[in-house]
Amino acid sequence: MKFFIDTANLVDIKKAYKVGLLSGVTTNPSLVAKEGVRFEDRIAEILQAVPNVESVSAEVTPDALTAEDMIAQAEELIKINGGDENITIKLPMTLDGLEACRYLTEKGVKTNVTLIFTVNQALLAARAGATYVSPFLGRLDDISEDGVLLVTKIAEMFRIHNLDAQIIAASVRHPDHVTRVAMAGAHIATVPFQVIEQMSKHPLTDQGMEKFAADWKKAIQK
Ligand code: E4P
């Protein structure tokens, strides 16, 4: 399973990229709004900050409700930085979003269909030619449903029907989500930087490092 980072914060994106972990970046209108920056400028900055990743998702704005409006926005977004091939157009899981997805896929543009909460939605998005489908785990868990189970079912359904859309497990809240979606067959988990940090830690790792340091110091003193 690959890692994308789920943020529009450049500092976090650069930190994760520097570690060498990143295969991509996902943003959404809420994440960009939190940064208080112009959307297109931030997408351009992100594309420059993470060369060689496979995908940087830029979502059409929430006021683009028709396929025509989504396509018009996508056509501007794909020109950013002179037409970076990593830009991925994130589209909502609506019939208009699917129509825009099919159109953009046929033009060779990568797409990410977002706000997926059922297996049927994932099937529709895959059949519309989506490069990526994004089921939202945390938001399902928030309403007492099982987000990981949804990823398990989508992965199984894609296997049965040989669908090649990649599953991005989204709305990931903690390291256990990551472990479970990796075992469930998600191709990618998109995670906040904080979750990457939490995944890297274990109290026994810290204790082990302290003990090695103490033993080393004693040996050197002899
Ligand atoms: C995915 O692409 C979304 O940006 C994201 O994972 C949403 O997560 P949230 O439910 O924490 O807002």
| Residue 33 banded pLDDT, cuts 50, 70, 90 | very high
Distance from C-alpha of 52 to C-alpha of 182, rounded to nearest angstrom: 23
Q: Which neighbouring-strand residues pair with 55?
A: 24
Nearest residue to 116 (alpha-carbon basis) of 143, 67, 151: 151
pLDDT of residue 222: 67
Query: Are 70 and 91 in contact, with CB atoms under 8 Å apart?
Result: yes
The CATH number assigned to the domain with range 2-221 reads 3.20.20.70
Query: Are 28 and 46 in contact, with CB atoms under 8 Å apart?
Result: no
Q: What is the mean pLDDT of residues 56-71?
A: 97
Per-residue tokens: 179: 């472990």
Cβ partners under 8 Å of residue 19, min gap 6? 196
Average per-residue pLDDT for the chain:
97
Q: Is the pLDDT of residue 124 over 70?
A: yes
pLDDT of residue 115: 98
Q: What is the mean pLDDT of residues 8-23?
A: 96
Q: What is the mean pLDDT of residues 161-165?
A: 97
81 Cα: distance to centroid of ligand 1 (angstroms): 25
Q: What is the pTM of this model?
A: 0.95
Indicate the length of the chain as a whole number: 222
Count other C-beta atoms under 10 Å from residue 193's C-beta: 17
**Ligand 1 pocket check for 112: Cβ under 6 Å:** no
Q: Is the pLDDT of residue 89 over 80?
A: yes
Nearest residue to 90 (alpha-carbon basis) of 78, 107, 79: 78
Q: What is the mean pLDDT of residues 202-212?
A: 97
Q: Which neighbouring-strand residues pair with 22?
A: 3
Distance from C-alpha of 123 to C-alpha of 185, rounded to nearest angstrom: 16
Query: Are 36 and 49 in contact, with CB atoms under 8 Å apart?
Result: no
Q: Is the pLDDT of residue 202 over 80?
A: yes
**Ligand 1 pocket check for 28: Cβ under 6 Å:** yes
Q: Is the pLDDT of residue 136 over 70?
A: yes
**Ligand 1 pocket check for 136: Cβ under 6 Å:** yes
Q: Is the pLDDT of residue 221 over 80?
A: no
Where do we find the tokens 């469930």?
A: 184
pLDDT of residue 26: 98
49 Cα: distance to centroid of ligand 1 (angstroms): 21
Per-residue tokens: 112: 């990410």
pLDDT of residue 220: 84
pLDDT of residue 61: 96
Distance from C-alpha of 144 to C-alpha of 139, rounded to nearest angstrom: 9
Count other C-beta atoms under 10 Å from residue 79's C-beta: 12
Query: Are 137 and 151 in contact, with CB atoms under 8 Å apart?
Result: yes
Is residue 2 annotated as part of the catalytic site, yes or no? no
